Amino acid sequence: MNTLEINKYKDPKSSGAIEISGSKTVLEALLQENVDTVFGYPGGAIMPIYDALYDYSEKIKHILVRHEQGAIHAAQGFARVSGKTGVVFATSGPGATNLVTGLADAMIDSNPVVCITGQVYASLLGTDAFQETDVINITTPVTKWNYQVTDAKEIPEAIAKAFYIANTGRPGPVLIDITKNAQLQLFDYSGYKKCTHIRSYRPEPEIRIAYIEKAAELINNAKKPFVLFGQGVILGKAEEEFKSFIEKANLPAAATVMGLSALPTHHKLHVGMLGMHGNYAPNVMTNECDVLIAVGMRFDDRVTGRLDKYAKQAKVIHLDIDPAEIDKNVKTTVPVWGDCKKTLPLLTALLVENDHSDWVAKFRELEKEEIKEVIHNELNPTTDAITMGEVIKVLNELTKGEAIITTDVGQHQMVACRYVRYNHSKSSVTSGGLGTMGFGLPAAIGAWYGAPEKTVVAIIGDGGFQMTLQELGTIMQFGAKVKILILNNEFLGMVRQWQQLFHDRRYSFVNITSPDFVAVAKGYYIDGEKISERKDLKSALEKMLSHDGAYLLEVMVGKENNVFPMVAQGSSVSEIRLK
């Protein structure tokens, strides 16, 4: 019974309530939240919802994944590129526990995802019934909010709260666990009301104008200001406000891994990427600036390096919607709480137009040093082996910065983050805080459903690909036109690099043998090709991008190439190594 049918059967003389099942209420709620795509996997405890979904299939597209972890990573990719909420269905027990890695990933990377899991009958809770797990206690540390429904009457309000909490303030994952009796239960349903307020939940802190004024004064008097920006700019839909902010006072700006694509790569004030494998200039200059302005980022350890040697000379301004991030890792001189879409214009209005061209030029000087020592050799190698960087260079030439790029986790991820060019926001999808191998392929599937008009390229290592390659079955069945680019160095590359540099080249269990990936893809009716010679690289990438449908290209790259620059663990960002 769809929404129109429900309205049709309402008695105008009555309160408007009609009797429907809890399962149908779930789907009615999703329609009211404008959900059109769900990633999931059925099972016994969620079967009533899937039975109801049979009648809603024209309005809600369900993508049957091959593993529940694939479902939540796909929902993350969908959310990241579409700006909507990703939705996941899973059954109880192992179905629900298979979501935990993705929930943790979504939690630390602030991805809005609503997971709806089935649960055993309420009468069986706590009896160790078949496929029963205490999913609420298991997922409490890795969700923004979770709730167990045992009565169908609770479903509309619970789902409304779930979407509100997932999407407001600092976004995050929410899980609603619904017992089977509640799914089957009939009750008088009088409609769905979206949630707009929850007592004791304040998604946005109060903006304090006095702090905005203090921040503006510091920036206006700064000789060497430096801006760090993260995913908060994207989540706040504040890309234009951010650009106006840095342009008014000519402020150099560097991105975190999660902030990539918030500012076009070619922007004149974009000075690179921060972090352990970030660019040389922004890392060094962090310890040279006099005012450090952080916008929508959380001072992760991979950005700060050794905290007792991080930006000690600078006054720190921190703009963030989550008050818990202020002073958590780096002591703030001026905290600016609030949504940066609202706080940035207030701050920009108080800035004086300034010329920091000499300061910006110092970043460019250090950039030339990195180009000479690292980038030129990576993008234009003279060795026989193909480098990951040159693959990205050719990909940039062909996509012209218009593609959505998802990555897995490892050396290929850092190379992609360093060298991929982005023209548009929401174009970079990677696992930042948790660093989840296996993320890249299912995230690409979700990204394609979030933006099917775009070219979506999943850049993946040979190790991470084997963690979720079963999702090729999802591509096969539903036709997602994902381009899969495997950079194969026959190693768990990032671990190998650390073993080489810090463990005397004792390569302990990092050699990885892989199947014939092209043959595996063809087993799923996906075309593909494997290359190992430079002369074939451009034509192979052109073929991949022009192919009408999913395509897998495996590129054999240098086995022991390392990713530089690098800030070694326990080192200061100013001790970044070029080689």
Catalytic residue annotation: 68, 130-131, 180, 494
Instruction: Spell out the residues 6+ positions from residue 390 whose beta carbon is closer than 8 angstroms to its own.
Output: 378, 379, 380, 381, 534, 537
What is the rounded (10 degree) CA torsion for 495, 499, 502, 505?
Answer: -160
Task: Provide CB contacts within 8 A for 308, sequence distance 6+.
Answer: none
Q: Which residue type, as a one-letter code, is found at position 237?
A: K
Please, which residues have CB within 8 angstroms of residue 48's CB and are 6 or more apart in sequence? Answer: 21, 22, 23, 118, 180, 183, 184
The span from the CA of 80 to the CA of 260, in Å, is 12
- Burial 502-535, CB ≥16 within 10 A → b, else e: eeeeeeeebebeeeebbebbeebebbbbbbeebe
CB neighbourhood size of 254 (10 A): 27
| CB atoms inside a 10 Å sphere around CB 357 | 8
Compute the distance between CA of residue 120 and CA of residue 46 in angstroms, rounded to an integer: 9
Eight-class DSSP state of 150: -
Over its C-alpha atoms, the chain yields an Rg (Å, rounded) of 25
Residue 367 has phi, psi (to 5 degrees) of: -60, -40
65 Cβ contact list (under 8 Å, min separation 6) = 39, 40, 41, 71, 74, 442, 445, 471, 474
Closest CA to 530 of 517, 539, 543: 517
Write down the residue that tokens 């990633």 correspond to.
39
